[in-house]
Chain A
């Protein structure tokens, strides 16, 4: 590069000749040189900026292109990830406490039609009716030839029916896979399980939704894929449940009852080993709710949980327990039982005349209404209400069934002294058999509150102490005496020391007042009475026992024999050893037992 000199001699000389200042030329040259240097620097900087810009554009373009690609591609299942149980996004099974299946899923197919693709609608309609007799040919043909582009024909079909539809061979008939809920044990534990039906449906799949019972109560849990197909383990024991339902069904038949319930509850954990309500239904084909008549008469109605009844003399135990707890009486305190007890315009009568007075124990053993009412008078309304509230009679039981939340006991709107007296013998307060079972379990559990549950192995916090263990033991001994020398003498089961209390409550008329010839007979039992393990509450609706010369309706003749048979069958299945010594320590005894 040729550098221009700052003071070019030729121009300096000519400027000197003209008398000008030659320094001007030098300054001019310096200025030009600086300008050139500045231009070069700016050019370099501009180029750098452009390069940086290109780099940024390229970076952002890459990120943008990747985002667009991710957004535009079809999602695919990750194929490399291991195939865990999570693949089965199916509804979880329900099993009993020993892992025997109560509810599971079965893959079936649904049948749908796309009329525009159909070749011969008339023939398809007639052929379909041959396979499914409940369909109507003219209705189908109208659908197939009308403007509809899609219609469901059957929600669930069997493999045989699917083959028959295949054999029709029309391209307009299509199948979609369907998971179907199956209850392999049929009607067993129907009220606990409830049932399931299809929710949102699509051609590819349909969601299964629980409609009642534990299926509804645990719907979210059963559908949660995070559980990885882990089954829901209930506290029910399938064998015990089956034995209880069988005995209860024959008891209902024998006593000509309308219905019956049985609740078998572990007193330590509150786990329900069996919960039966008859008549029942098949959850595989859940019937439609009744549209006419009393909803309580529907087989769908779970009498053990939803049904609130006046449970009669079984409540006398609570009056006695509270009076003992408050120190108002001892088991030997004499209570006046001369009847009738007149209160205002009401008269309280006993079933028999028990003489002028009975001890507190005998009030329970002989089931004296007057005695119970007098004990309640000592306690007073406020304290009685407080005690029954703490026993759980003021709220729903909280058992894990969809129906349980609505089943609140019916309390008297005005808890007067008369209410106090009638509630002492189980009238004026309606509760479900499950409430009663939970309250008896509380007394059997040394007075510590028991909350019933349907989940096996659920850890529940220790319940509040309602009565002292000593009072609870006294009550257990009274209950034992009811069976050995009182109203529940048919309740004796050799080896199991049954203790219990009968209750016969007149049924209220819908129009007011009570029926004379319709009762609800209840047997609330605890076994073994010395060291209680289980509580059984069995109720029969409108039982009649007319094997003898007279017609009998009291619980001692109806509910108690059935309850005793339930205990005789269920106790060995629950693993309870009879307390008596074996007959003889010989092989003959074992043979005897087997035959």
Chain B
């Protein structure tokens, strides 16, 4: 009985040692993965900052004004004035869609589709 207990204890120590070894390496792998992801995030952030700066640079008001001027023939853009404020009243109701005549009489529609009078 005593030998069995010794044997089981020894086996459990070996098992725990293996588990600890395994956990240790898994933790190290996770940490290095985290470091890699963090450096990736940092470089993506850097890229994002550059893109934001570039976006702001490309959308600077004097460049947009110049582009509007260059493309005046197509866009006909003017600086905004008070006259551009409209009333809701001024927006026309959408024209009623022309009622498809065929829909009124399904038989006719089928007749048309089949080329009969």
Question: Chain A: residues with CB nearer than 8 A to chain B?
Answer: 79-80, 83, 87-88, 100-101, 104-107, 182, 184-186, 188, 238-239, 242-243, 246, 493-496, 568-569, 571-573, 576-578, 582-583, 585-587, 589-590, 592-595
Contact = CB atoms under 8 A, between A and B. Distances in A.
B70 interface: no
B61 A571 contact: no
Contact of A107 (B49, B52, B57, B90): B49
B52 A101 contact: yes
A578 B85 contact: yes
B79 to A, nearest CB: 6
Contacts of B53: 101, 104-106, 182, 184
A242 B41 contact: no
Nearest to B37: A83
Contacts of B65: 242, 246
B61 A188 contact: yes
Given A87-B42, A585-B89, A80 B34 contact: yes
B85 A595 contact: no
Given A83-B41, A593-B83, 4 more contacts: A79-B34, A105-B49, A182-B53, A188-B61
Nearest to B50: A106
B56 A184 contact: yes
Contacts of B79: 243, 569
Contact of B86 (A238, A242, A582): A582
Interface string B7-24: 000000000000000000
A318 B27 CA distance: 75
A494 B80 contact: no
B7 to A, nearest CB: 34
Given A101-B52, A107-B49, A572-B85, A587 B92 contact: yes
Lowest 9 CB-CB distances: which A-B pairs, in order? A242-B61, A578-B82, A101-B56, A184-B56, A184-B57, A593-B83, A185-B60, A495-B82, A572-B80
Interface string B69-82: 00000001001111
Contacts of A493: 82
Contacts of B87: 582, 585
Nearest to B92: A587
B26 interface: no
Nearest to A584: B90
A80 B52 CA distance: 29
Nearest to A93: B52
Contact of A186 (B34, B37, B62, B85): B62
A595 B76 contact: yes
B29 interface: no
Nearest to B79: A569
B57 A587 contact: no
Contacts of A246: 65
Interface residues of B, number: 34
A104 B90 contact: no
B60 A590 contact: no
11 contacts: A79-B35, A80-B34, A83-B38, A87-B38, A100-B59, A105-B49, A106-B49, A186-B60, A587-B92, A590-B90, A593-B86
Contacts of B61: 185, 188, 238-239, 242
B46 interface: yes
A4 to B, nearest CB: 45
Given A79-B34, A79-B35, A587-B90, A185 B56 contact: yes
Contacts of A106: 49-50, 53
Nearest to B59: A100
B30 to A, nearest CB: 9
Contacts of A577: 82, 85
B77 to A, nearest CB: 9
A106 B52 CA distance: 10
Nearest to B87: A582
B84 interface: yes
Given A104-B53, A188-B61, A79 B31 contact: yes
B52 A589 contact: no
A242 B59 CA distance: 12
Contacts of A592: 83
A495 to B, nearest CB: 5
Given A587-B90, A587-B92, A496 B52 contact: no
Contacts of B42: 83, 87-88
A83 B38 CA distance: 7
B82 A590 contact: no
B35 A568 contact: no
Contacts of A80: 31, 34
Given A239-B61, A582-B86, A585-B87, A568 B50 contact: no
A128 to B, nearest CB: 26
A186 B64 CA distance: 13
Nearest to A579: B82
Nearest to B40: A83
Most buried by A among B34, B41, B49, B65: B49
A593 B41 contact: no
Query: For B37, B85, B87, B89, which residue has the most chain A Cβ atoms within 10 angstroms?
Result: B85
Nearest to A582: B87
B90 A242 contact: no
A188 B64 CA distance: 13
Given A80-B34, A568-B82, A572-B85, A589 B90 contact: yes
A414 B76 CA distance: 60
B45 interface: yes
Contacts of B92: 587
